[in-house]
A and B are shown apart, each in its own frame.
Chain A
Amino acid sequence: MSAFPVFDPASSLARPITQLTSITFWLGLGVFLLVAGLLSWFMWRYRHRGAGGEPAQIFGNTRDEVGWILGAVALVGVLLFLTVRVAGQSSPDTAGPNPDVYVTAHQWYWAFRTPGGAETAGELHIPAGRRVLLDLTSADVIHDFSVPQLARKIDVIPGQHNRLWIEAAKAGTYAGECNEFCGPQHAWMRFRVIADDAASLAGAGPDSPAPTLVAGSAAAHGAQVFREVQCSACHAVQGQTSDFPHDGAVGPDLTHFASRQLMAGGVLTNTPANVQRWLKHTQQVKPGARMPTLPLSDQEINDLSAYLEALK
């Protein structure tokens, strides 16, 4: 994760944008310095020097003015040419192939699902060195998907399926975040794109269900709490039976929760202590979050976190 992600592209989609940005910045800086320089020079050179009559009254000079209009036209022409060239490169055609990952933005987390049905939240696993086609939509308001090192950003709009190619040239972890104002927790709607050399998409598949728990352990007890307090009304854990007839589409899918680095939209790192803090003070940790602060005993919170940390 780089300090200036815009100037540190990690893909063939973001690189041309970086080059264009640099060229434009230098041109712009040149124009600015020209204006600021001329202004300073004229302010000093032509400053009022005590008494004396009015200076010569010059009303204009058509040739000069046509000159700087043509200069501006030429500059704009160059920029336009570069823009057209780069726009296509960095936003290639998305029609045709089936998307590799379905992205759904929620207030306030990101859900990533493969066509096979494996779902994860907050972390998108992609194979390094290959272009991945995303299909993006929103469950509520307009969000924006931005991973500056991997691709351009694009809005994520309810009722509309935008498509976007992303690519990571080499393995690594890349920061992403929501860029469109989407309500109280717009600040904490961050995610990570993790590019691996092993070709896996989105996460483990549905055929690798949650691990079996040792009977009588804290985790097994936590699983029972999970069912009883109806966490499964909002959260799905694949392989975990639920008495509550709900598809669990409100909150993030927790199937392989323990394998995630961050939780709660990037507010906390995923440790047992933080899971407990989250369960105890949900609304303080992430005010406005759709998840209420649940009335749980310390024992239940302890067991729940043991259960969640067992979901490898």
Chain B
Amino acid sequence: MNQRVPAVSAAPAAAPALSWWRLFTSTDHKSIGLTYMGVAAVFLVLGGLEALVMRLQLAVPNNHLLVGEAYNRFLTMHGTTMIFFVLLPLLLGFTNYLLPLQIGARDMAFPRLNAFSLWLLVGGGLLLYLSPFTGSPSQGWFSYAPLSETAFTPQRGVDLWSVALIVSGYGTTLTAVNILVTGARLRAQGMLYRRLPMFAWMAWVNGFIILFALPCLTAVLMMLEVDRLLGAGLFTRGDPVLWQHYFWLFGHPEIYLLILPAWGIISEIIPVFSRKPIFGYEFVAWSSVAIAFLSFAVYAHHMFAVGLGWPVDLAFGTTSMLIAIPTGIKVFNWLATMWKGSVRYTLPMLYAAAFIVQFTFGGVSGVTFAVVPIDWQLTDTYYVVAHFHYVLFGGSLFAVLAGLHYYYPKFTGRFLDERLGRWGFWLNVIGFNGVFLVQHLLGLMGMPRRVYTYPALSGWEALNLFSTVSGFVLGVGLLVLLVNLWRSRTHGAVAGPDPWNGWTLEWLSSSPPRRENFVALPPLHSRRPLWDLKHPDDMDHVRPPRHDRQGRPIRDEEREHR
């Protein structure tokens, strides 16, 4: 085992008691955070099974398992589930759990509102999965008008689908308010903005993205319902493209909303397991702010084929390329954090490394879409499917898995089983890349996305079959992970409050933390209060000023390698 001996002696953690009544009525941010994750796990199983059935249909050409409309129902439910009821709750769960702990607060700013948000999201999820009883939605998670209008998709399930998103969207918007107020007002004394842990920074910036993006979705869903239920014809007699403007003005920031907290998690894990502070704190933090702004200025890159005219396309192509710069900064800062460090091969670190590789791949293929003429050729092919799964699954979800392995001892007081964890890791990495790497090639071969079948053309058959088989490897990997999460809760090795020798405040509280989080807080003079406690002779803020080769002083918090 590569895990470190606990720095603080471990009190034997009691097995976490599962009281259903407490679960449903709790306003404690930790309970709410974990419930978010539990809900996400349920939906992950549903969305994952839907994906496997779709991959079975696509395994061979001209298959008859799920034909036409039936396939489109799975397509719609899979996309909606994964975006709104898996990734989003997972990240909101982490934010809820960690933000107050990291900033030294007792709870979120509005605990009851917080519980309300959670149950709105759960209610939305239930509505979504009630929709099959009134005719499953089959218009795709993007629900393009006029296909989503009554004339072409008459079943009532579409209305339930939009109400589900409106309801859960309200929950998420309220959470954003909660996050913003918590981050702004509840920081412990000495926890300045420039000393916030990286995850807290990105989760907080994310609050702004949610606050401005989700109302666009709510608005456009209401417009769709005005069309569907009242026959207004906003997108039929009016302009069908209007839907896309609103939808992507929400939809693109949504992608960053799903990746920013994930970056935050990675920015916590890499420093701790490299035993070095994050390289270039300011750059990493401010690049998140830049991305938050830019994310709203790139939305029309989903619409390069609409025929807006190439000058408009180029304008949005330019902003889309610009977003590669702050994103690239982060990747290189993570690498530089490992440089001259002491890298430990723990499960969280392995997942973080896989994240960097896969996310970079997805980011690079994202840049190819910012190059407008390439988008004119490749948009709406499997190349897009491959690209965004690399960002959202290989990126965002792998970061969440890294975070789960990292924070599991904090959540439960116990470690995840190392052997099962490694099996899960390798199955996930091999399965994931097997499914989606070859889909880039399918896209280049011209296979359109969202098709339920395809002609028997050379190359298409073998690659699709390979993708499907890998899908089952991935499914087994995730299953192993879920078993591990469930089993280690009572069977894992006892971890203690600070199993990884961390530096941020959450590792000061017991594992799992007491109701009020902290007994007492140490003085906060730097970004790494626990480092200061553990290294009284080498505290971050009292290091002697150093000078570079030219004799110029270097700022306190910077220890040069020269």
Shortest distance from the beta carbon of B450 to any chain A beta carbon, whole Å: 4
CB proximity to A under 8 Å, residues B402-447:
444-446
Q: Does B468 contact A (CB under 8 A)?
A: no
Q: Tell me which residues across on chain A come within 8 A of B373, comparing CB atoms.
A: 16-17, 20-21, 83, 86-87, 90-91, 152
Interface-side segment among A40-48, A193-201, A293-301 = A40-48
Contact indicator A46/B371 (Cβ below 8 Å): no
Q: Tell me which residues across on chain B come within 8 A of A158, comparing CB atoms.
A: 146, 236, 240
Contact indicator B353/A39 (Cβ below 8 Å): yes
Complex: how many Å from CA A178 to CA B322?
Answer: 31
Q: Does B281 contact A (CB under 8 A)?
A: yes
Complex: how many Å from CA A83 to CA B317?
Answer: 9
Which residue on chain A has the smallest CB distance to residue B383?
A: A6
The residue from B310, B335, B364, B448 contacting A186, defined by CB atoms under 8 A apart = B448
Contact indicator A56/B379 (Cβ below 8 Å): no
Complex: how many Å from CA A161 to CA B381?
Answer: 23
Contact indicator A59/B305 (Cβ below 8 Å): no
Contact indicator A39/B357 (Cβ below 8 Å): yes
CB proximity to A under 8 Å, residues B249-302:
274-277, 279-283
Which residue on chain A has the smallest CB distance to residue B282?
A: A60
Given known A-B contacts A4-B444, A24-B374, A86-B373, A48 and B343 have beta carbons under 8 A apart: yes
Which residue on chain A has the smallest CB distance to residue B338?
A: A42
The residue from A32, A46, A184, A188 contacting B274, defined by CB atoms under 8 A apart = A46
Interface-side segment among B42-50, B86-94, B161-169, B453-461 = B453-461
Shortest distance from the beta carbon of A145 to any chain B beta carbon, whole Å: 9
Most buried by A among B151, B153, B239, B377: B377
Q: Does B368 contact A (CB under 8 A)?
A: yes
Q: Tell me which residues across on chain B come within 8 A of A35, comparing CB atoms.
A: 331-332, 335, 356-357, 360
Q: Does A72 contact B (CB under 8 A)?
A: yes
Complex: how many Å from CA A139 to CA B283?
Answer: 51
Q: Does B339 contact A (CB under 8 A)?
A: yes
Report the interface size class on chain A.
Answer: 35 or more
CB proximity to B under 8 Å, residues A38-79:
38-39, 42-43, 46-49, 52, 54-62, 64-65, 68-69, 72-73, 76, 79
Q: Does A172 contact B (CB under 8 A)?
A: no
The residue from A17, A39, A142, A182 contacting B377, defined by CB atoms under 8 A apart = A17
Across chains A and B, the number of contacting residue pairs, with CB separation under 8 Å, is 275
The residue from A5, A49, A60 contacting B283, defined by CB atoms under 8 A apart = A60
Complex: how many Å from CA A79 to CA B142?
Answer: 29
Contact indicator A6/B343 (Cβ below 8 Å): no
Shortest distance from the beta carbon of A3 to any chain B beta carbon, whole Å: 6
Interface-side segment among B66-74, B99-107, B122-130, B211-219 = B66-74
Contact indicator A152/B152 (Cβ below 8 Å): no
Q: Tell me which residues across on chain A come within 8 A of B281, comparing CB atoms.
A: 59-60
Contact indicator A46/B340 (Cβ below 8 Å): yes
Q: Does A287 contact B (CB under 8 A)?
A: yes
Given known A-B contacts A6-B444, A83-B372, A142-B147, A52 and B310 have beta carbons under 8 A apart: no
Given known A-B contacts A83-B373, A179-B380, A46 and B67 have beta carbons under 8 A apart: no
The residue from A29, A65, A87, A141 contacting B314, defined by CB atoms under 8 A apart = A87
Q: Does B559 contact A (CB under 8 A)?
A: yes
Contact indicator A59/B68 (Cβ below 8 Å): no
Complex: how many Å from CA A188 to CA B71?
Answer: 14
Listed by A's residue number, 5 A-B pairs whose Cβ atoms lie within 8 Å are A32-B361, A39-B338, A59-B558, A60-B336, A184-B68
Query: Taking beta carbons and an 8 Å cutoff, which residues of A are in contact with B?
Result: 3-7, 14, 16-17, 20-21, 24-25, 28-29, 31-32, 35-36, 38-39, 42-43, 46-49, 52, 54-62, 64-65, 68-69, 72-73, 76, 79-80, 82-84, 86-88, 90-91, 107, 140-142, 144, 146, 148, 152-155, 157-160, 162, 175, 177-188, 190, 266, 287-288
Which 10 pairs from chain A and chain B are nearest by CB?
A184-B68, A152-B376, A187-B451, A60-B280, A287-B68, A179-B380, A28-B364, A162-B307, A42-B338, A141-B147
